[in-house]
Each structure stands twice: as C-alpha cells, then as structure tokens.
C-alpha cells in the first residue's frame, strides 16, 4: 500500500526520519543499559508516596501495587518513579510481552507518531488497520480454522462484547451464556456477569443468566469429563435454543492456569456442535503464550473455533468469527480501534511471533517454561511445604505458594514485590502466584535471577510456620 506518489510515503522516505530514528535508538540503548535491579531511592520516597496518595484520592481507591512507572525499562526490568528497578513478571497482565522499552520496536513507532492521527477508529482508519486485520486472519486460519472475519477493538472486554453481539445475533432469541466455573471474561456489565467473581459486580443487576460448567480436573480425568458433558447437556435440555454460545478459556486464565487434554475439548465441542451452540474461545490471555500462537491451534481445535477473541499481548484486541456468524451491518462499530502506535506495535509483535522461533516443543516458549519449571521443582524438592505445582503452560507460569490459601498467596505476592518481582495471583482454592513474563525478549539470565529471588523469598523466615 505504499505508493511514491503519496505524501505520506514521501515523508517516511525522508532521510531525516531515518536519521532521527537512529538518534533515538542510540539514546534509548545507551540509557537503558544502565538499568539494574535495585531498591527505591531514599530521596524519592516522600514525593513518591505523595503521588501515590494523590492518585488514590483522584481514583477513589488506591492502586493495587504502589507502582508508578518512570517510563524507563529494559526487557524484564522496569524503573519505577521511586527509582527502584524491578523484574516485571506480570507485564501489565501479559501485555508487555516484548519487554520494556524494546529497542527493536522503537523504529516501528516513529512512523506511527508521524502519522496524521493519534487514534484510529471505525469510520476513518489508515492502512495499518487493514494490514493488521489481514495478518491476524492469516495467523488464525493457518492450521485450517475457518475464522473468515476479524474485527479490531481497543480492549479485551470490547472484543468479548463484540463476540457476544455476534453470537446473540446469530442465535436469535438466545439470552443465556455457557461458561466455565471461574471464568474471567472482562468487567463490562455483560462480561462482568460471565466473570465468575462476585466481588467485581457488587450492586450490579444480573441480567444475562450464565450457566456455569465445571472444568476438567486432571486428578479425575474421566469423571470430570463426564461431569462437564452431563452438566452441559442438562443445561441444553433445560433451556433449549437459549444459549448464544459457550465461552471458554482453553487455559483457565484468572482461574489459575489449568488446561485440559484435546479429547476433553473435542468431546465438549462436538456436543455443542450437535446442539448448534457455537464454541467461543476466549484467548485474550492465552493468545501468543502457549505452544502455538493460539491455544486452539496447540490443542488442534481449529475446526471447532466459531468465535475467538485475542488481546493483551497483541496490544490491539480482536474478535474473529466464522462467515456463518457474520452479523448484519450496523451491529459492529466503534469510535476507537486503538492508537496508531498500538496498531503498528501489534503488527510488529505478530511478525515476531511468526518469524521468531517461539512455538512448538523446541520453541523459545517451551524453553522458557521448562527453565522456570526446573527451578520451581527444585525449590519444591527443598521445601515441599513452601510451593507446589502444577506450573502452568507455556508463557503462563504459576505455582501454589504455601498452603494455597488466599492470604498466603497475597503475602507471598507482596513479599515478592518488595524483593523486586512483580507478579500476580490467580485462582482460588488454591490461590496461586502467576507470571506472564515478557517472553519475546526474556533471557535465561533474567529467569535465573527471578527464580533466585522467588527461592529466597519462599524460603525466608517470614514464611516459617
């Protein structure tokens, strides 16, 4: 889509642009190199606390972590405005998969800021949006899925909202949703009802009935598969033609990083298919992080994918759907797709996923996973009361600290933060600690250092029972 006759192209070809990019890259590289893990600067403690207080007051509630980034970072390391530098193992819950201040990405962003608009939307958008859509659809269907259509949006919740709009219109008259127990689908009025977390919806009217289905239990494979199928079947009989679809995270995200074997999902999807209920794979957290770009590709469920959403590490979120589900004009639209920088970053990330050696049993994700696992296993051997698995899947790493109680997980989480690691919790019964490391740039050395800290925190006296 580049024609020399376009002024936009002439601008980008201007040697001053190249020169400026070089200068910025050099400056970034030089300064970033100086970042090392460290504690906060004493002199910044007071103003930092003031900023945190001000922000808490403005927002109405304090931030979860006392975290205000300074804007500097390098790979897993991030500088906060109190001068501390930490290992970011949660990356905004999986968003910054490319690491902080990735030097390869910078040259991609320069054209974006030279572009005419900060934001792009549905009515007026630039060629980057088309390119990104094309890239996404190609990637989604590369193993045989039939996700002909793709609609970009600015957040995962919006991608899921769009998915539900498509599904409800497809199943005219439906008003219910099938979902797994412990599902997390977002925080809008609708997706917050699908999300199996009462705390997120205190006081909200519950208007769309969600029929929850127990997930696979690796400890009781056959029994739990039967339980899933029977529960689904009972709902389908009890409420015929009433479900717009079954939203499923193929690896439970907020639910604790558990997955299930292919056969489980095949049996489930076949049952849904028999009843004409679309399968909706919510890959907002899993996208990019398993052993294939999509978890449904890893599990070879391509033929069952009716609706798929992606988000987080893709920067731009998207809703894929089959031709048969294509809604009438007027249903899908929005002012904002996202910013031009996010769109070009998404394009760059997708290119990396395809061109880098990230996937498959020998891919970088598998390596990263096994490095983490071998360190976590070792800690468990030393101190079986301090940590237990399973350890998640791919670039989604998790462990159960101490006794698996919610308080234990919270304590460990904050102790890790103090010690220089940003992580998060997931699941309940047991509550777990999870990592979504910046796998696109993560080095083995970073893994070692992070695991050293995890070990020392877990084995520290504060957790002696």
Q: Which of residues 401-440 bind a copy of itself (CB under 8 A)?
A: 422, 424
Name the residue nearer to a copy of itself (CB basis): 129 or 290: 129
Which residues in 184-223 contact a copy of itself (CB under 8 A)?
187-190, 192, 196, 198-209, 212
CB of 365 to a copy of itself, least distance (A): 21
3-state secondary structure of 186: coil
Which residues in 245-304 contact a copy of itself (CB under 8 A)?
none
- Considering only residues 8, 141, 143, 146, which one is a binding residue for a copy of itself as defined by CB under 8 A? 8
Which residues in 304-323 contact a copy of itself (CB under 8 A)?
311-312, 315, 321, 323
79 phi/psi in degrees, rounded to 5: -95, 130
Name the residue nearer to a copy of itself (CB basis): 133 or 290: 133
Question: What are the Cα distances from residue 276, in Å, to 273, 312, 363, 450?
Answer: 5, 30, 37, 47
Interface segment toward a copy of itself; rule CB under 8 A; list 215-223, 295-303, 335-343, 364-372: 335-343
Which residues in 26-55 contact a copy of itself (CB under 8 A)?
26-28, 30-32, 34-35, 41, 43-44, 47, 51, 54-55
d(CA 169, CA 245): 11
CB of 228 to a copy of itself, least distance (A): 15
Name the residue nearer to a copy of itself (CB basis): 117 or 460: 117
Tokens matching residue 422: 């940003």
d(CA 259, CA 451): 24
CB of 310 to a copy of itself, least distance (A): 12
Residue 30, classified by CB atoms within 10 Å of its CB into exposed (0-12), middle (13-18) or buried (19+), is exposed
Token pair 């599902």 in the structure block, residue: 183
Instruction: Count residues near a copy of itself (CB under 8 A).
Output: 158
- Considering only residues 45, 46, 127, 223, which one is a binding residue for a copy of itself as defined by CB under 8 A? 127
Identify which of 96, 98, 72 has the alpha carbon closest to the alpha carbon of residue 86.
72
Question: What are the Cα distances from residue 367, in Å, to 113, 140, 357, 363?
Answer: 36, 24, 11, 6
Question: What are the Cα distances from residue 16, in Å, to 11, 12, 23, 200, 380?
Answer: 9, 9, 10, 50, 56
Token pair 């007051």 in the structure block, residue: 57
The 380-399 contact track toward a copy of itself, x by CB under 8 A, reads --------------------
The 149-188 contact track toward a copy of itself, x by CB under 8 A, reads xxx--xxxxx--x--xx--xxxxxxxxx----x-----xx
Name the residue nearer to a copy of itself (CB basis): 196 or 283: 196
The 8-class DSSP code of residue 151 comes to: E
Position 139 contacts a copy of itself (CB under 8 A): no
CB of 462 to a copy of itself, least distance (A): 24
Interface segment toward a copy of itself; rule CB under 8 A; list 131-139, 290-298, 364-372, 413-421: 131-139
Name the residue nearer to a copy of itself (CB basis): 378 or 406: 406
CB of 2 to a copy of itself, least distance (A): 9
Name the residue nearer to a copy of itself (CB basis): 278 or 299: 278
- If you write DSSP's letter for every residue of 43-63 in order, what string do you get? HHHHHHHHHHHHHHHHHSS--
Task: Let me know: does 243 contact 277? Beta carbons within 8 Å.
Answer: yes
Identify which of 268, 254, 451, 282 has the alpha carbon closest to the alpha carbon of residue 368.
451
Task: Let me know: does 320 contact 147? Beta carbons within 8 Å.
Answer: yes
The alpha carbon torsion through 136, 140, 143, 146 (nearest 10 deg) reads -120
- Considering only residues 327, 363, 390, 430, which one is a binding residue for a copy of itself as defined by CB under 8 A? 327
CB of 301 to a copy of itself, least distance (A): 22
CB of 378 to a copy of itself, least distance (A): 29
CB of 154 to a copy of itself, least distance (A): 5
- Considering only residues 137, 354, 366, 419, which one is a binding residue for a copy of itself as defined by CB under 8 A? 137
CB of 202 to a copy of itself, least distance (A): 6
- If you write DSSP's letter for every residue of 436-454 in order, what string do you get? ---TTT--HHHHHHHHHHH
Which residues in 88-117 contact a copy of itself (CB under 8 A)?
88, 90-93, 95-96, 100-101, 105-106, 109-117
149 phi/psi in degrees, rounded to 5: -115, 155
- If you write DSSP's letter for every residue of 382-424 in order, what string do you get? H-TTTEE---EETTEEEEEETT--HHHHHHHHHHHHHHTEE-E
Angle between helices 444-459 and 406-419 (to 10 degrees): 120
CB of 116 to a copy of itself, least distance (A): 3
């Amino acid at each position: 889509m580049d024609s020399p006759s376009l002024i936009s192209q002439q601008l980008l070809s201007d040697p001053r642009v190249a020169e400026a990019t070089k200068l910025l890259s050099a400056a970034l590289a030089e300064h970033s190199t100086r970042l090392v893990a460290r504690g906060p600067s004493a002199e910044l403690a007071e103003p930092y606390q003031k900023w945190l207080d001000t922000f808490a007051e403005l927002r109405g509630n304090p931030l979860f972590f006392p975290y205000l980034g300074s804007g500097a970072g390098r790979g897993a390391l991030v500088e906060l405005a109190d001068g501390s530098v930490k290992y970011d193992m949660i990356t905004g819950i999986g968003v910054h998969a490319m690491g902080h201040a990735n030097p390869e990405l910078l040259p991609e962003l320069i054209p974006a800021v030279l572009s005419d608009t900060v934001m792009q939307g549905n009515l007026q958008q630039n060629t980057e949006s088309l390119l990104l859509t094309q890239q996404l659809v190609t990637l989604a269907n590369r193993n045989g899925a039939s996700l002909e259509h793709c609609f970009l949006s600015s957040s995962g919740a919006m991608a899921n909202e769009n998915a539900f709009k498509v599904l409800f219109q497809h199943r005219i008259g439906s008003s219910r949703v099938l979902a797994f127990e412990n599902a997390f689908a977002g925080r809008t009025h609708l997706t917050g009802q699908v999300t199996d977390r009462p705390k997120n919806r205190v006081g909200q009217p519950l208007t769309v009935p969600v029929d929850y289905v127990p997930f696979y239990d690796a400890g009781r494979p056959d029994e739990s598969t039967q339980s899933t199928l029977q529960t689904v079947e009972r709902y389908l009989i009890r409420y015929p033609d009433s479900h717009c679809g079954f939203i499923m995270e193929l690896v439970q995200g907020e639910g604790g990083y558990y997955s299930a074997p292919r056969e489980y999902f095949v049996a489930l999807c076949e049952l849904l298919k028999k009843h004409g209920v679309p399968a909706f794979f919510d890959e907002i957290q899993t996208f990019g992080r398993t052993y294939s770009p999509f978890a449904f590709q890893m599990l070879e469920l391509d033929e069952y994918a009716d609706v798929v959403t992606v988000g987080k590490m893709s920067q731009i979120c998207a809703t894929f759907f089959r031709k048969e589900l294509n809604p009438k004009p007027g249903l899908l639209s929005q002012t904002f797709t996202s910013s031009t920088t996010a769109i070009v970053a998404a394009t760059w990330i997708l290119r990396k996923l395809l061109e880098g050696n990230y996937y498959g049993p020998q891919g970088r994700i598998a390596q990263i996973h096994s490095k983490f696992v071998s360190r976590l296993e070792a800690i468990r051997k030393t101190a079986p009361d301090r940590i237990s698995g399973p350890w998640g899947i791919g670039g989604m790493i998790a462990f159960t600290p101490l006794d698996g109680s919610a308080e234990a997980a919270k304590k460990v989480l904050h102790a890790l933060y103090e010690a220089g690691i940003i992580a998060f919790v997931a699941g309940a019964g047991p509550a777990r600690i999870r990592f979504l490391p910046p796998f696109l740039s993560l080095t083995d050395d970073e893994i070692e250092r992070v695991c050293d800290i995890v070990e020392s925190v877990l084995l520290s006296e504060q957790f002696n029972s």
